[in-house]
Amino acid sequence: MHSEQINSQIFTDNRKRFIASMEKTGIAIFNSNDEIPSNGDALYPYKQNTDLYWLTGIRQEDTMLILFPDHPDKKYREVLVLVRPNELKEKWDGKRHRANEATALSGIHTIVWLDVLDGLLQPMVHLADAIYLNTNENDRKANLLAVRDYRYAQEMKARYPLHNYKRAAKIMRELRAIKSPLEVDVLQQAVDITEKTFRRLLKFIKPGVWENEIEAEIYHEFMMNRSAGPAYTSIIAGGDRARTLHYIANNQQCKDGELILMDFGAEYGGYCADLTRTVPVNGKFTKRQKAVYNACLHLHDYAKGILKPGITINKYTDMVGDEASKTFLKIGLINKTDIKNESPDNRAYRKYLYHGISHHLGIDVHDLGTKTEPIKAGMVFTVEPGIYIEEEQMGVRIENNFWITKNGNKDLFKNIPIKAEEIEQLMKK
């Protein structure tokens, strides 16, 4: 972790919100992620379970959280379980949290070591009627690996078969979608680091540069600003490669006359920024490139104008699609016959814009939230229309991040250059 310690009140407030949603005499148990071996005795870089992090601010492996708001002993209403510090292990792998350090990070005062948990947990479970266990219910999940949450659920059901089991994830989906001002303050720091990085790139990009060199500049600026690193694998796609939405090879040379699409964001304090900009490699858009870029920017501006409480993401996407049809007519990508012959499931504009317009953003890049229920104040979304033209070997995408307010939204990236003329002027300097 490179970021400064963030305000533990964030995690205290998050736990209060979860507890308020629990049933009376319920107990909730959250687990950290597994450490995953790669090859030999090596491990993949550790990434904390984001639900556990959202509730505790603890990034350390072998961590658990127990919430039992109706426990007769107040001391056991919030319990943080940590691996006991081991002097020999610390010589190899580094320091582990002491109790006072964990309390400072999380706001939890009762710290229990993992090796004595069984003796504490059993009588707590006997007092509870419902047991809340957590699993990954992100709609984008595609991996069926039996991670710790699922194994732990099986173990608990085998040990305590007569209890009433509840899905913590159903509550987490609703709560995590709404960001508090304190959370957005941390997210804004990730955004600000991303802004510094983009401005650095505008001075660096020129014909002949390699995509991996641009990626290295991104990583350097992130580290220099105490980011934990990229929030996701950066997409640095020159020329026709920009039509591949998740292009991460980043190993080709950028040529004079091409556009380069860059999708990257810093992680800070556990929160993720998500920016996309498309710029000319030589610093000057051609007439056609500028026309397509401005069409994409128009869609971006239209989308942010209707992204407000009350609309659903599905309805919002349909409305942006209608505007895309009009826009693509103007720049010659589709014609009236294409629109006349389209079907609701195969819109004509989808040939050139084949992904969603927005997703929830937070401590996961694709954060928890719903597409079918109305948007609420406090949610954070990306806005990222794109135009991908195979015939012209061109891809353009423009993406900012927006915090939904009572009557509209706040652009967290408002200070980052977005107009074609701004980009050209900065690259010229």
Report the range of poorest mean pLDDT among 79-83, 87-91, 220-224, 325-329.
87-91
What pLDDT is attached to residue 168? Answer: 97
Q: Which amino acid is at 215?
A: E
Phi then psi dihedrals of residue 281, to 5 deg: -60, -35
Report the percent of the chain where pLDDT is more than 70.
99
Distance of CA 38 to the CA centre of its chain: 24
**Does residue 163 share a domain with residue 238?**
no
User: pLDDT per residue over 216-250, tens digit each?
Assistant: 999 999 999 999 999 999 999 999 999 999 999 99
Number of compact structural domains in the chain: 2
- Average of per-residue pLDDT values in the chain: 95
Tokens 């601010």 -> residue: 57
Establish if 412 belongs to a structural domain: yes
Range with lowest mean pLDDT among 134-143, 248-257, 280-289: 134-143
Check whether 202 has a pLDDT greater than 80.
Answer: yes
User: Is 418 within 8 Å of 425 (Cβ atoms)?
Assistant: no
Rounded distance between C-alpha atoms, residue 254 and residue 235, angstroms = 14
Contact 240, 196 (CB under 8 A): no
Token pair of 340, please?
A: 């006349």
In a domain, 249, yes or no: yes
Instruction: Examine residue 2 and state whether it is found in any structural domain, yes or no.
Output: no
211 and 167: one domain? no
Helix (H, G, I), strand (E, B) or coil at 89: helix
Give me the pLDDT at residue 93, please.
Answer: 85
Q: Residue 414: inside a domain, yes or no?
A: yes
Q: How confident is the model at residue 311 (pLDDT cuts 50, 70, 90)?
A: very high
**Residue spans of beta strands (DSSP E) within 328-428:** 380-383, 386-389, 394-397, 400-404, 409-411
399 pLDDT tier (thresholds 50, 70, 90): very high
Average pLDDT over residues 319-325: 97
Is 322's pLDDT higher than 60? Answer: yes
Residue 53 within a domain = yes
Domain end: 146, 175, 204, which one? 175
pLDDT over 80 at 162, yes or no: yes
Mark whether 160 and 108 lie in a shared domain.
Answer: yes
User: Which band of pLDDT confidence, cut at 50, 70 and 90, is reported for residue 4?
Assistant: confident
pLDDT number for residue 1: 53
Q: Is residue 337 part of a domain?
A: yes
What pLDDT, on the 0 to 100 scale, is given for residue 409? Answer: 97
Same domain, 156 and 227: no
- Does residue 153 register a pLDDT over 80? yes
Last residue of one domain, picked from the residues 126, 154, 175: 175
Are the CB atoms for 193 and 225 separated by under 8 Å?
Answer: yes
Task: Kindly state whether residues 142 and 187 are assigned to the same domain.
Answer: no
Q: Is the pLDDT of residue 52 over 60?
A: yes
Q: Provide, rounded to the nearest whole percent, the portion of the chain with pLDDT above 90.
A: 90
Q: Is the pLDDT of residue 140 over 90?
A: no
> Tell me, what CATH number does 328's domain have?
3.90.230.10
CA distance 130 to 28: 8
CB-based contact 358:386 (threshold 8 Å): no
List C-alpha distances in Å: 373 to 136, 188, 429: 20, 26, 46
Give residue 97's domain range.
9-175
Question: Are 237 and 303 in a shared domain?
Answer: yes
**pTM of the entire predicted model:** 0.94
Of 32-46, 177-191, 397-411, which gets the smallest average pLDDT?
32-46
Q: Which residue, among 308, 362, 49, 306, has the nearest Cα to 178 in the 3D structure? A: 362
Cα–Cα distance measured from residue 324 to residue 285, given in angstroms and rounded to the nearest whole number: 22
Do 419 and 273 share a structural domain?
yes
* CATH code assigned at 97: 3.40.350.10
CA–CA dist 212, 193 (Å, integer): 20
Band of residue 138 on the pLDDT scale cut at 50, 70, 90: confident
What pLDDT score was predicted for residue 87? 86
The predicted model gives 102-119 an average pLDDT of: 96
Q: Mean per-residue pLDDT for 195-202?
A: 97
The Cα 49–Cα 204 span in angstroms is 36
Q: Could you tell me if 135 and 229 lie in one domain?
A: no
Q: In what order do the strands lie in the sheet with 271-272?
A: 229-230, 266-268, 271-272
Assess whether pLDDT exceeds 70 at residue 337.
yes
52 and 132 within one domain: yes
What's the Cα-to-Cα distance from 62 to each of 33, 51, 165, rounded to whole Å?
A: 8, 14, 23
CA angle 147, 148, 153 (to 5 degrees): 110
Confidence at residue 2, expressed as pLDDT on a 0 to 100 scale? 63
Q: Would you state the pLDDT for residue 3?
A: 66
Cα–Cα distance measured from residue 297 to residue 426, given in angstroms and rounded to the nearest whole number: 18
Sign of CA dihedral 339, 344, 347, 353: positive
**What mean pLDDT do residues 47-72 have?**
97
Is there a domain that residue 1 lies in? no
CA distance 132 to 170: 10
Domain boundary among 120, 150, 175: 175
Q: Cα–Cα distance between 421 and 232 in angstroms, integer?
A: 29
* Dmax (CA) of the chain: 73
**Do both 356 and 208 map to the same domain?**
yes
**Residue 3 domain flag:** no
Residue 129's nearest CA partner among 75, 69, 64, 78 is 69
* Domain co-membership, 328 together with 348: yes
- Do 207 and 103 reside in the same domain of the chain? no
